[in-house]
């Protein structure tokens, strides 16, 4: 294992672990606020119990996310010093704002957790709204950094490196609007699907439990809104990538030859040596439509990219297929649920729907992980697209396999602790009367 591969693996593992808590920090506060708001409107006590349950879960996930996020901030400097040397002044502003949003979220989360019956209902609900807004802002500010890495702007290049900079430039990156919207909706969609699955599992055991029925309705409502919008932002993201990062789109679709009226590939396995995609189903001209809204548009293939600049095609393509497949499976679940609500009214959560929701519970989180693989692996070999190569940004420090092994063990331990805590909290908060 080379030190470059070890550094990339450690960063990938850290991001894959942290993103689960990041999306929870963006979406769980919204669910708990909706539960409390519903409780204040209806006066039904199980909504208050639900808000407390989700708030405690949010606190656990927030704490672990703070730990993993701190590790990531150190890894940027320790593993990628050249990147921080050149890009640090540009990404410093989004990271500073993210830190401000994080502290704001922590303050209002404390008020929310310990303010029950100590502050007025309106003030308590306001604290929850601030937690939700701060969590969303925190995620969006970090996405601004990644947007800059995918579509860098706001600096001049000199022989010595990056020259004059604009610290606000990451927010004007052409990748920022679509990436920020896509990430926010991904958080809402993935967390809603996971919460829906948890309470669907509980309802299969206790079909008349009011708390779980209320939770199912709120989670499904969030999923029903976010999943269709996610498809829209995904389409906009694809059009941006086609224009600004054609090599990433070519790798995601395993398109080895530039084509007019390019077909959309579904499934398949790319053979990079032969330059072909095997075993795929092709939808004629659909890739040109998705990329440029023109069935006869030319879509650039990997044949126009120097071989040394190819992203890892197999990883990018498979990750893209997984992300899209999971997204459309959740969209189908939404359609099934809406049809049941139209046909059956209040009795819509049938055993078949609960089974489907349970099976689909992890798909949103899997899609988030796969999407970040597409974003990061598809940008390779660049850490800042077209400006700085990943191999040139890695630390010269040797033996990077050691911290990789240590942090792998740490994340496994943290993962087990989180599962145990959430399971115990869920059981303690939902026992008792229905």
Q: For 72-106, give the DSSP string.
A: HHHHHHHH-HHHHHHHHHHHHHHHHHHHHHHHHHH
Say whether 286 sits in a helix, a strand or coil.
helix
Q: State residue 62's pLDDT score.
A: 87
Q: How many domains does the chain have?
A: 1
Q: Note down the domain range covering 157.
A: 3-430
Q: State residue 329's pLDDT score.
A: 94
How far is C-alpha 302 from the geometric centre of its chain's CA atoms? Answer: 27
Q: How far is CA 113 from CA 58, 128, 130, 277, in A?
A: 10, 9, 13, 53
What residues contact 314, with CB distance under 8 A and at least 6 apart? 269, 270, 272
Low-confidence ranges of the chain (pLDDT < 70): 157-163, 428-434
Q: State residue 189's pLDDT score.
A: 94
Phi, psi of 164 (to 5 degrees): -60, 140
Distance CA 274, CA 70 (A): 43
**Residues forming beta bridges with residue 281, ordered by sequence position:** 266
Q: State residue 30's pLDDT score.
A: 95
What pTM was computed for the model? 0.91
Distance CA 377, CA 255 (A): 16
Closest CA to 362 of 220, 195, 231, 205: 195
Distance CA 52, CA 54 (A): 5
């Amino acid at each position: 294992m080379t030190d470059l591969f070890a550094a990339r693996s450690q960063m990938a593992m850290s991001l894959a672990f942290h993103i689960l808590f990041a999306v929870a920090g963006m979406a769980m506060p919204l669910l708990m606020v909706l539960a409390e708001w519903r409780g204040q409107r209806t006066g039904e006590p199980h909504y208050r119990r639900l808000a407390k349950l989700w708030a405690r879960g949010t606190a656990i996930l927030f704490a672990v996310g703070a730990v993993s996020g701190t590790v990531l901030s150190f890894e940027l400097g320790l593993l990628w010093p050249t990147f921080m040397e050149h890009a640090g002044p540009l990404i410093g502003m989004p990271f500073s704002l993210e830190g401000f949003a994080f502290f704001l979220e922590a303050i209002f989360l404390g008020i929310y957790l310990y303010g029950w019956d100590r502050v007025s209902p309106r003030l308590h609900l306001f604290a929850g709204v601030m937690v939700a807004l701060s969590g969303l802002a925190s995620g969006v500010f970090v996405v601004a950094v990644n947007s800059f890495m995918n579509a860098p702007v706001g600096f001049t290049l000199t022989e010595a490196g990056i020259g004059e900079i604009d610290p606000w430039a990451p927010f004007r990156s052409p990748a920022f609007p679509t990436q920020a919207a896509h990430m926010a909706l991904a958080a809402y969609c993935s967390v809603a699907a996971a919460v829906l699955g948890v309470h669907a599992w509980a309802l299969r055991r206790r079909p008349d439990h009011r708390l779980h029925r209320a939770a199912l309705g709120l989670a499904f409502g969030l999923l029903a809104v976010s999943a269709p919008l996610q498809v829209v932002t995904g389409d906009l993201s694809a059009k941006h990538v086609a224009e600004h990062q054609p090599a990433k789109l070519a790798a995601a679709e395993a398109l080895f030859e530039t084509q007019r009226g390019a077909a959309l590939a579904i499934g398949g396995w790319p053979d990079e040596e032969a330059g072909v995609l095997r075993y795929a189903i092709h939808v004629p001209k659909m890739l040109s439509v998705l990329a440029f809204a023109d069935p006869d548009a030319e879509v650039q293939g990997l044949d126009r990219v120097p071989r040394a600049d190819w992203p890892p095609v197999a990883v990018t393509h498979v990750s893209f297929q997984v992300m899209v497949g999971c997204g459309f499976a959740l969209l189908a679940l939404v359609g099934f649920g809406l049809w049941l609500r139209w046909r059956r009214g209040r009795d819509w959560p049938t055993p078949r729907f609960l089974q489907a929701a349970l099976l689909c519970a992890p798909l949103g989180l899997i899609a988030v992980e796969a999407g970040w693989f597409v974003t990061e692996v598809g940008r390779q070999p660049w850490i800042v697209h077209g400006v700085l190569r990943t191999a040139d940004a890695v630390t010269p420090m040797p033996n990077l396999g050691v911290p990789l092994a240590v942090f792998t063990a740490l994340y496994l331990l943290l993962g087990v602790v989180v599962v145990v805590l959430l399971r115990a909290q869920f059981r303690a908060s939902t026992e008792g009367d229905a």
